[in-house]
Amino acid sequence: MDIVAEHRKMCTKCGMCMEVCPRYDDPDLIDNLYGYLENMSRISHKTLDLCLTCGLCAVACPQEAGGIKKLISASRKKRVKEHGINEKQTILDPEADNNIFKAIMDLRQVPEYKGGNAPVVYFPGCAGSYINTSMAQATVAILEEAGIDYTVLSGLEYCCGAASAGSGNMGPLMRNGPKNIEEISNRGAKTLITACPGCFRAFKDMYPKIFGTLDFEVLQISQYLDRLINQNNLVPKETLRHRVFYHDPCHMTRGMGVYREARNVIDNIPGTQLANKTPQNSACCGFGGGVRISYPDESLKIASDVFRAAKELDCDMIITNCAGCMQNLCEAKAEESIEVVDLAEYVALSIGVSVAREDRELTGLLNKVYSSCIPDYQEPGLLDK
């Protein structure tokens, strides 16, 4: 059954998806998407670009029809087939001239890591390799402290392709998937650890469906850290007195159903109090689905709501577990009194390792890179606040 027929069969038009959606407020949207997917009517690029791919609608859907997101994802793919790939969709494509990571490499020295063969392969992804490098450096420090025999597969040549796929461009995922699987297997991997939820989803869910079963296990860093602590291979010793708000990355919590492990890790840090024990009411950071690029101000406004939620729970720190969330939260930092830290950085602090961060400089650099790679890019006004 095709996507529209299946959705039509399940959907009762109850409107619950629209109620939770932070981006759409159009009761006719589902019918309009059906029409577009069935070649009966048109839909604007603007409408398709609004979606954050946060998955709130899919989780809210009582019929498990996939909410609005399922139809938006199919529509984005259809648009690529009809109109080709635009410059906003190629900024993450390793083969494109306007790839943002190539531009970053021209402006910034990025860390290099240990290569070779090992049973544990750490995969920082493009964001961890070029943007949120402190997250990757913290992880490597933890692996060293725990005495793990590891190797790192970093850099643009190994881009997992998940972020491009989210915008409707399946090219990088289809080209790099088989190459990545072969390289990881050749390195003798028993376990692959990914930094970002997007890479996690690519290896755990998309690659096996498209390319077949992998011969290594796939864990996201929160799951691996939880395992290291449970098995006593890592002992957080430093007392870190913070009341923490854990920001659930959409693609991890709603996308992959993984949210307990990060909380277990935070609960194991001496002196740390976790304020939100479950992902109930968790909201999107505003980064995903290409919204940060197409609607920078709206994207950062959504991120600033996360600070409000943290303040309401009297927290002095937000911990997250995704380079995209990290980027948006740092850029939107609305409360000077609330720090934003990556989960791996926090665990590194608990073993006495502090990795330097340059959030303000990075925000400036990223806007410069977006401006040079996307012709009509508008820097967000919030940046000047």
Stated length of the chain: 385
Q: Which residues pair with 326 in a beta bridge?
A: none
With CA atoms as reference, report the closest residue to 211 among 174, 183, 184, 186: 174
* Interface with ligand SF4, residue 12, by CB under 6 A: yes
Question: Can you tell me which of 24, 87, 372, 382 binds ligand SF4, judged by CB under 6 A?
Answer: 24
Q: Could you say which DSSP state residue 202 is in?
A: I
Q: Where are the beta strands (DSSP E) in 132-225?
A: 150-152, 191-194, 217-220
Neighbours of 218 (CB within 10 A): 22
Q: Do 382 and 295 contact (CB within 8 A), yes or no? A: no
C-alpha torsion 47→52→57→58, nearest 10: 110
Query: Cα(35)–Cα(43) distance, rounded to whole angstroms?
Result: 9
Q: Do 91 and 112 contact (CB within 8 A), yes or no? A: no
Smallest separation (angstroms) from ligand SF4 to the CB of 32: 13
For residue 140, count CB atoms less than 10 angstroms from its CB and return exposed for 0-12, middle for 13-18, buried for 19 or more.
buried
Smallest separation (angstroms) from ligand SF4 to the CB of 210: 22
3-state secondary structure of 367: helix
Token pair recorded at residue 274: 């976790």
Q: Do 214 and 190 contact (CB within 8 A), yes or no? A: no
* Interface with ligand SF4, residue 378, by CB under 6 A: no
* Interface with ligand SF4, residue 372, by CB under 6 A: no
- Near ligand SF4 by CB under 6 A, which window of 16-24, 76-84, 116-124, 350-358? 16-24
Smallest separation (angstroms) from ligand SF4 to the CB of 83: 20
Give 69 or 242: the residue with its C-beta nearer to ligand SF4. 69
Give the end-to-end CA distance of the chain in Å, rounded to a whole number.
50
Determine the size of the site formed for ligand SF4 (CB under 6 A).
Answer: 26
Token pair recorded at residue 117: 């063969």
Give 65 or 196: the residue with its C-beta nearer to ligand SF4. 65
Give 67 or 197: the residue with its C-beta nearer to ligand SF4. 67
Question: Can you tell me which of 2, 5, 9, 13 binds ligand SF4, judged by CB under 6 A?
Answer: 13
Phi-psi region of 94 (alpha: psi -120 to 50; beta: other; left: phi over 0): alpha
3-state secondary structure of 197: helix
Give 77 or 227: the residue with its C-beta nearer to ligand SF4. 77
Give 24 or 211: the residue with its C-beta nearer to ligand SF4. 24
Smallest separation (angstroms) from ligand SF4 to the CB of 335: 24
Using CB under 6 A, which residues numbered 65 to 104 contact ligand SF4? 65, 67-69, 72
Smallest separation (angstroms) from ligand SF4 to the CB of 67: 5
Binding mask 30-69 for ligand SF4 (x = CB under 6 A): ---------------------xxxxxxx--xx-x-x-xxx
Question: Can you tell me which of 2, 6, 9, 15 binds ligand SF4, judged by CB under 6 A?
Answer: 15
* Interface with ligand SF4, residue 17, by CB under 6 A: yes
- Near ligand SF4 by CB under 6 A, which window of 13-21, 107-115, 293-301, 321-329? 13-21
Question: Can you tell me which of 5, 14, 40, 210 binds ligand SF4, judged by CB under 6 A?
Answer: 14
Neighbours of 236 (CB within 10 A): 22
Neighbours of 61 (CB within 10 A): 22
Binding mask 219-258 for ligand SF4 (x = CB under 6 A): ----------------------------------------
With CA atoms as reference, report the closest residue to 269 among 245, 248, 244, 240: 240
Q: How far is CA 58 from CA 55, 71, 143, 188, in A?
A: 5, 11, 36, 37
Smallest separation (angstroms) from ligand SF4 to the CB of 55: 5
* Interface with ligand SF4, residue 210, by CB under 6 A: no
* Interface with ligand SF4, residue 283, by CB under 6 A: no
- Which residues contact ligand SF4 (rule: CB under 6 A)? 11-17, 21-24, 51-57, 60-61, 63, 65, 67-69, 72
